[in-house]
Structures are given as C-alpha cells and as structure tokens.
Chain A
Amino acid sequence: NAGVTQTPKFQVLKTGQSMTLQCAQDMNHNSMYWYRQDPGMGLRLIYYSASEGTTDKGEVPNGYNVSRLNKREFSLRLESAAPSQTSVYFCASSVQAIYEQYFGPGTRLTVT
C-alpha cells in the first residue's frame, strides 16, 4: 500500500497563476482533508470531505476549491495564486473523523 500520495512535491507559481494539487489514498478511507502548514501556525484545515460526494470548508478556505473526484482522490485547486498561499500543503485521510489521520508527504508551494 502506498498510503496517501501527493503530487507535485514542489511547485513555484507566479501571482495569478492557477494549479491543482492532487491527493490519492489507497486505504479505502471515507474522509479526506487538506491542511496548510505555516511557521508558528501549526496545521490549519483548508477543506475536508467527510465522505465521497461531500465537501466542507475548514478554517482557512478562502482562495481554494476542492473536488472529491471519487473515494480515492481529493484535489485542491488554487484559481489565482497569491503570495499569502506560499506554504506547505498536506493531504490526509482517515476511516472517519474520530480515527487517526494518515498524512501524505506534503507539497511545498511558493508563490512569487
């Protein structure tokens, strides 16, 4: 099992460009999450999907959209990147919210 995979690992964007971060899990988990990690801020939830077909906003959703493509895949889209979105992005999944989350390796995004 690969667990949770994310692509790309690194990305540099110019302000205003768009991109999609991909996440997939092979553990048959129902719930998937997108977090961003900034120095001194800990992990902050951007969006989550409690189950296939549902998505909900987290703590910091502005500037992002998500798609739960199927049970395995949960993508995060930046429509018009801003320097404030420079961060490390982690995708995670769990059987259900109460259970432990499994994290992907992260995507380091820089917006210039």
Chain B
Amino acid sequence: ILNVEQSPQSLHVQEGDSTNFTCSFPSSNFYALHWYRWETAKSPEALFVMTLNGDEKKKGRISATLNTKEGYSYLYIKGSQPEDSATYLCASLNTGTASKLTFGTGTRLQVTL
C-alpha cells in the first residue's frame, strides 16, 4: 500500500491571505498526481491532474506544482476567500498499483472574514 501524506492536516487563514499545502507521494513508478477539492456535504471535485516533473497548473487563484523526482506537490491559493473553505485531497497513481489512486487524508482549509 502506498503512502500519500498531506500537511498540514488543517489550516485556518484570514480572507485575503495566501496559503499553500503539501502532498508527498512515492516517487518510484510515478504516473500521475491528482488534486481534488471537497466541500462539506458535497462530493470531491477534480482540480488538477499532473504527470510531468516541473509541471505547473493554474485554475483562477489556485495553482499547483509537481516534483516527481523527490515526490512532492504544492497547492497554492492566492488571496483566500471564504468560498475556498474545503478539504483539499491529493492522490497518487503509480504504475505498480495498476488502476488505483491512493488518496491522502487531506488538508482542511477554513477561511474566515
């Protein structure tokens, strides 16, 4: 079983702050890294799928980077808003695990006014 770890476990920021969190994953047999946004009482929704070392993806105020050699990805949120409050999940797909994503336990972000 692969180990995908996310830090911090939870984060509380003020509106307008920029923030980032980390996902670490096994670098061996790496295939893809997924980021999902999960609001309370809803279902996870995909933010990014990243495959290449050095890849950077952006969607509005949210961006992500990928380092496959050392096995980590950062998710950045610029100018946090209350609607960014959610749990952010990362998941790793490694070739040794066939078709299975392994999820981390998430970073819970709360943005207050």
- Contact check, B99 vs A31: say whether CB atoms are below 8 A apart: yes
Residues of B within 8 A of A74 (CB): none
Q: In this complex, what residue of A is CB-closest to B31?
A: A98
Chain B positions near chain A (C-beta within 8 angstroms) = 1, 31-32, 34, 36, 42-46, 49, 51, 89, 91, 93, 98-106
- Contact check, A43 vs B89: say whether CB atoms are below 8 A apart: yes
Residues of A within 8 A of B106 (CB): 42
Bound-state CA distance A104–B44 (Å) is 9
- A-B contacts besides A40-B105, A45-B100, A98-B31, 20 pairs, CB < 8 Å: A41-B105, A42-B103, A42-B105, A42-B106, A43-B91, A45-B101, A48-B99, A50-B98, A56-B99, A59-B100, A59-B102, A98-B49, A98-B93, A100-B46, A101-B36, A101-B44, A103-B45, A104-B43, A105-B43, A106-B43
Range, interface on chain A: 20 to 34
Bound-state CA distance A103–B43 (Å) is 6
Bound-state CA distance A69–B107 (Å) is 35
Chain A positions near chain B (C-beta within 8 angstroms) = 31, 40-45, 48, 50, 56, 58-59, 90, 96-106
Q: Would you give the shortest CB distance from A101 to chain B, in whole angstroms?
A: 7
Say whether chain A's binding surface is mostly helix, strand, loop, or mixed: loop
- Contact check, A97 vs B46: say whether CB atoms are below 8 A apart: no
Q: In this complex, what residue of B is CB-closest to A41?
A: B105
Q: Would you give the shortest CB distance from B24 to chain A, in whole angstroms?
A: 14
Bound-state CA distance A98–B103 (Å) is 14
Residues of B within 8 A of A105 (CB): 42-43
- Contact check, B51 vs A98: say whether CB atoms are below 8 A apart: yes
Q: List 5 A-B contacts (CB under 8 A).
A: A31-B99, A43-B103, A90-B44, A96-B99, A103-B44
Bound-state CA distance A58–B99 (Å) is 10
Residues of B within 8 A of A58 (CB): 100
- Contact check, B100 vs A42: say whether CB atoms are below 8 A apart: no
Bound-state CA distance A45–B4 (Å) is 14
Bound-state CA distance A7–B46 (Å) is 22
Residues of A within 8 A of B103 (CB): 42-44
- Contact check, B100 vs A48: say whether CB atoms are below 8 A apart: yes
